[in-house]
Amino acid sequence: MKNDSDNTKRTDAQPVLDLCRFLGAAAIVWLHTVRSPELLPSTAIGRFAVPFFTLATVFFVFEGIRHRPDRTWGQYARGRLARIGLPFVAWTLVGLAYQACLAWGLGRPVEWKGVRLLWEGSTYNLWFLSFLLAVNLAVFPLGMATHDRPRMRGAVAMAAALLGIAIASVPGAMVLSIENDYWRFVVCALSSVFWGVGLALFWSWPASRVLERNASTALGGLLFLAATIGLWRVGGRMPLLESLAGLGVMIVALRPGLGKTPASWRKLGALAFGIYLAHPLFMSVYDGLAKRLPVDRLAWQYDVGLFVLVLGSSVLLAWLLHRYRWTRWLAP
């Protein structure tokens, strides 16, 4: 077995991963802004994002354990609650305040979710934070149990890979028939949780060095491309292909570097979560303003313009939040 400290150094600087994080956030903005018939099939390009972020989250739970194996579950849970739970609560309150302003100024009714606010949040994107928090807390004990147990790692990695395949193979129509948005999203992302466990455990073996080779990077890119083309041709959702696209991007993201990689890539990666959290509010504001203007909101030009405005505004806000110490926690 290779030394875990050496293994941790492999993930200390991942400029390609940082770039993929930014592209994933931008892809989600694209998914949420496109409505025109001409561009709607292109949303297939962005379906990798949620599986990729899920894979990366699980992967770095295990990497964190290798870096700090002395933490207890309680210590880890407190850290996750501060990093994920507090932003979830804060952005939920922001969303409620925004809805209250719309109700007061425009007479638009407020959708009160009741107890579901605790895991769904006030805007449609916040489900992912509560999901990631639950995944973090559930996966950490497994990472601790497999730490320094090579034989157990192999068995768990194989079981996780097979479970991920089984879940991803559930017919898409069955998954998409789930009426509750939250649980439908969770089921779609669940296979990536198990694949993330398998990938993280494989990363601890000497054989995982193969993932850092050019051929593996190319294969990851081809996997993403093939899955995306499949989604494009299907013209709808297919959890298996979405998960495969996310896995392909994750394999590419593990590339240690492509020659001289720009330092700006790391800065872009740091903005990814802020972009994800902020974009629904900007989208609602700009789309609401457009309703008062003589524009065709189903035209492809409108989609492109809205995407540029929402992404640009979200990048700016995420950058501002990261710039100051007392607001950085809002964009983890």
Q: Is residue 331 a contact partner of residue 300, using CB atoms and an 8 Å limit?
A: no
Cα 127 to Cα 20, 91, 123, 190: the distances in Å are: 21, 11, 8, 14
Q: Is the pLDDT of residue 309 over 70?
A: yes
Q: Measured between alpha carbons, how far is 162 from 166 in angstroms, rounded to an integer?
A: 6
Phi, psi dihedral angles at 250 (to 5 degrees):
-65, -40
Output the DSSP codes for 53-97.
HHHHHHHHHHHHHHH-TT--HHHHHHHHIIIIIHHHHHHHHHHHH
Q: Is the pLDDT of residue 52 over 70?
A: yes
Q: Is the pLDDT of residue 2 over 70?
A: no
Q: What is the pLDDT of residue 8?
A: 47
Domains of the chain, by residue range, sit at 14-22+42-259
Q: What is the average per-residue pLDDT within 139-153?
A: 90
Q: What is the pLDDT of residue 260?
A: 57
Write out the two tokens for 98: 């925004």
Q: What is the pLDDT of residues 23-41, one digit of tens each?
A: 999 999 999 999 999 999 9
Q: Measured between alpha carbons, how far is 43 from 232 in angstroms, rounded to an integer?
A: 8
* Rg over CA atoms, the chain: 20
Query: Who contacts 278 (Cβ-Cβ below 8 Å, separation ≥6)?
Result: 313, 314, 317, 318, 331
Instruction: Using pLDDT thresholds of 50, 70 and 90, give the confidence band for residue 263.
Output: low
Q: Measured between alpha carbons, how far is 214 from 9 in angstroms, rounded to an integer?
A: 20
Q: What percent of the chain has a predicted confidence (pLDDT) above 90?
A: 61
Q: Is residue 135 a contact partner of residue 57, using CB atoms and an 8 Å limit?
A: yes
Q: What is the pLDDT of residue 1?
A: 36
Q: Measured between alpha carbons, how far is 219 from 240 in angstroms, rounded to an integer?
A: 18
Lowest mean pLDDT among 54-63, 146-155, 226-235, 312-321: 146-155
Q: Is the pLDDT of residue 135 over 60?
A: yes
Instruction: Using pLDDT thresholds of 50, 70 and 90, give the confidence band for residue 3.
Output: very low
Q: Is the pLDDT of residue 257 over 90?
A: no
Write out the two tokens for 72: 């207890």
Q: Which candidate, 256, 279, 259, places its Cα nearest to that of 331?
A: 279
Q: Work out the mean pLDDT of the chain and round it to a whole number.
A: 88
Q: What is the pLDDT of residue 5?
A: 43
Q: What is the average per-residue pLDDT within 184-208?
A: 91
Give this prediction's pTM.
Answer: 0.90
Q: What is the pLDDT of residue 319?
A: 95
Which residue type does 136 have?
N
| Alpha helix ranges (H) inside the chain | 4-9, 15-33, 49-67, 73-80, 86-106, 117-120, 127-146, 150-168, 172-176, 181-203, 214-234, 239-253, 264-270, 272-290, 300-323
Q: What is the pLDDT of residues 209-250, one digit of tens each?
A: 888 888 999 999 999 999 999 999 988 788 899 999 999 999
Q: What is the pLDDT of residue 179?
A: 85
Cα 119 to Cα 28, 128, 134, 182: the distances in Å are: 20, 9, 10, 8
Q: What is the pLDDT of residue 189?
A: 93
Q: Is the pLDDT of residue 67 over 70?
A: yes
Q: What is the pLDDT of residue 258?
A: 56
Lowest mean pLDDT among 64-68, 104-108, 121-125, 202-206: 104-108
Write out the two tokens for 163: 């479970």
Largest CA distance in the chain: 65
Which residue type does 41 have?
P
